[in-house]
Amino acid sequence: MLHNDPIAALTPDVVAWRHHIHSNPELGFKEHETARFVTEKLRSFGFDEVHEGIGGTGVVGVLRCGTDTRAIGLRAELDALPVLEKTGLPYASRNAGVMHACGHDGHTAMLLGAARLLSQSRAFDGTVYFIFQPAEENEGGSMRMIEDGMFKRFPVEAIYAVHNWPGVKLGTIAARVGAQMAAVDNFELTFEGLGAHAAMPQLGDDPILAAGAFVQAVQRIVSRSVDPQSALVVSLTQIHGGNVANIVPGRVWLQGTCRFFEPDHSDCCEKLIGEIARGIAAAHSVTATLDYKKGYPPLINAAHATARAVEAAAATVGRENVSTEFSPSLGCEDFAFMIREAGGCYAWIGAGDVGPGEGLHGDRYVFNDEIVPTVMRYYVNLVEQTLAVS
Ligand SMILES: [Zn+2]
Ligand SMILES: [Zn+2]
């Protein structure tokens, strides 16, 4: 078959790059080989400006065309997850215990594909920054790039990214104005008191009893302290204390997470979790120590950038396949920092239905290569429409 369509012609190469990155996954801030792969590819496309080592292992490729008055950024992620892959794929991870289980291999390969296409067609007027960020999953690589002066060196009018989204229909794109992903804060809490013989509890304080009371009471924040119409999740995810049947331990450690869309909820959760923990500790004659860590902010799509993204998506998959009205996810996304700084839009690319264990972060997750040409077309449309030649 003859390929008149350069996107269709390039797709097999991009899928091969994706499989190569998939076989060689690297954890956050350790993406040295992946960053090298990206840099080499960009240089092979004729990019003469490729900046490495931004915010650790981040890479920015610069493509200038026409006048120099406008610029946008496109972002992909380099990092993989600490997951033992069980897909059985011929190109499965060769780095045991590390897996591209979120599809960042695909995001990086597709953004490289868009870089290749746009460097050939050059049908736009302005500058496109191709941003490959480290450590999206946990360590805040996007903030590290910002702190490293990325937007001062590469100022943009808006920044865009996509994420493959299992469970959303294949051939569709979803982007909404306002919150699309939640904020996340994590906390650790320790109750400490005097341990005792399990048969003589009157000689100790029993932090297990305090922890049990806290598990119940902390849900008061969601049910009684915030407007029921604003989403908030407080989940306890670890409890550890004691190691034998006949001793009441002197210490219980808990970990939990808070997810929300309204930035005010962060201070609210920190204050109330502390108050509830200290109140319960006082009632049980133990101490409570809270370590509350503010994490990624909510991802808030800007109206102007989302309008551009929706137009590009409509040109890619047809207007009837673009959703703008849907419930945001209570998952979180490090790209929120970049959008907060520069304004922009983050879109989900429908990846179709999947079975148990095959969703994002699952050990049998498989990136759907069918979305590769769709995403490249979306990026090309976005750049050519937003930075249109006048
Ligand atoms: Zn992820
Ligand atoms: Zn991801």
Q: Are residues 121 and 268 in the same domain?
A: no
Ion ligand 2 contact residues with beta carbon within 5 A: 102
Residue 112 is assigned to a structural domain of this protein: yes
CA gyration radius for the chain?
24
Helix axes 32-44, 104-121, angle to 10 degrees: 20
Average pLDDT over residues 14-35: 98
Q: What's the CA gap between 338 and 151, in Å, rounded?
A: 9
Domain range enclosing 345: 6-177+302-386
* Least-confidence region, from 2-6, 218-222, 256-260, 316-320: 2-6
Distance between Cα 103 and ligand 2 center (Å): 6
Coil, strand, or helix at residue 100?
A: coil
Q: Are residues 332 and 370 in the same domain?
A: yes
146 falls in which pLDDT band (50, 70, 90)?
very high
Distance between Cα 381 and ligand 1 center (Å): 26
Instruction: Read off the pLDDT of residues 30-53 as tens digits, 9 standing for 90 and up.
Output: 999 999 999 999 999 999 899 999
- Ligand nearest the Cα atom of residue 104: 2
Coil, strand, or helix at residue 258?
A: strand
Would the pLDDT of 148 be above 60? yes
Distance between Cα 200 and ligand 1 center (Å): 48
Would the pLDDT of 338 be above 80? yes
* Average pLDDT in the chain: 97
Judge if pTM exceeds 0.85.
yes
Ion ligand 1 contact residues with beta carbon within 5 A: 102
Residue with tokens 């239905």, as numbered in its chain: 353
Q: Are residues 172 and 235 in the same domain?
A: no
Would the pLDDT of 201 be above 80? yes
Would the pLDDT of 389 be above 70? yes
CB 335, CB 141: distance < 8 Å? no
Q: Are residues 75 and 138 in the same domain?
A: yes
**In 10 A of CB 159, how many CB atoms?**
27
Q: What's the CA gap between 81 and 88, in Å, rounded?
A: 17
Would the pLDDT of 1 be above 60? no
Distance between Cα 239 and ligand 1 center (Å): 24
Q: Are residues 217 and 287 in the same domain?
A: yes
Number of domains present in the structure of the chain: 2
Q: What's the CA gap between 143 and 49, in Å, rounded?
A: 22
Q: Select from 257, 272, 294 the last residue of a domain.
A: 294
Q: What's the CA gap between 275 and 264, in Å, rounded?
A: 17
Distance between Cα 133 and ligand 1 center (Å): 13
pLDDT for the residue 390: 84
Q: Are residues 116 and 167 in the same domain?
A: yes
Would the pLDDT of 2 be above 80? no
pLDDT for the residue 352: 97
pLDDT for the residue 344: 98
Q: Are residues 48 and 122 in the same domain?
A: yes
Q: Are residues 357 and 270 in the same domain?
A: no
Q: Are residues 195 and 170 in the same domain?
A: no
Q: Select from 232, 265, 294 the last residue of a domain.
A: 294
Residue 1 is assigned to a structural domain of this protein: no
Sheet holding 173-174, edge to edge: 49-54, 58-65, 126-133, 71-77, 158-165, 344-350, 173-174, 322-323
Distance between Cα 386 and ligand 2 center (Å): 25
**What CATH number is attached to the domain comprising 317?**
3.40.630.10
Instruction: Read off the pLDDT of residues 58-96 as tens digits, 9 standing for 90 and up.
Output: 999 999 999 989 999 999 999 999 999 999 999 999 999
pLDDT for the residue 269: 98
Three-class HEC string of 21-32: HHHCCCCCCCCH
Query: Please, is 125 exposed, middle or buried when counting C-beta atoms within 10 Å of its C-beta (0-12, 13-18, 19+)?
Result: middle
pLDDT for the residue 61: 98
Enumerate the H helices of the chain as residue ranges: 6-23, 32-44, 104-121, 141-147, 150-153, 207-217, 220, 264-283, 303-317, 335-342, 372-386
Which two structure tokens, joined as six digits, stand for 183? Answer: 């904020």
Distance between Cα 102 and ligand 1 center (Å): 5
Task: Give the C-alpha distances (Å, rounded to integers) separating 355 from 72, 213, 243, 362, 368.
Answer: 37, 37, 37, 10, 13
Distance between Cα 181 and ligand 1 center (Å): 12
4 falls in which pLDDT band (50, 70, 90)?
confident
> With pLDDT > 90 as the criterion, what percentage of the chain qualifies?
97
Q: What's the CA gap between 334 and 107, in Å, rounded?
A: 14
Those residues with Cβ within 8 angstroms of residue 10's Cβ, 6 or more apart along the chain or in another chain? 113, 116, 117, 376
- Ligand nearest the Cα atom of residue 75: 2
Distance between Cα 30 and ligand 2 center (Å): 16
Would the pLDDT of 192 be above 70? yes
Would the pLDDT of 3 be above 70? no
Q: Are residues 64 and 168 in the same domain?
A: yes
- Ligand nearest the Cα atom of residue 142: 2
Residue 360 is assigned to a structural domain of this protein: yes
Those residues with Cβ within 8 angstroms of residue 366's Cβ, 6 or more apart along the chain or in another chain? 87, 89, 358
- Ligand nearest the Cα atom of residue 133: 2
Q: Select from 275, 294, 313 the last residue of a domain.
A: 294
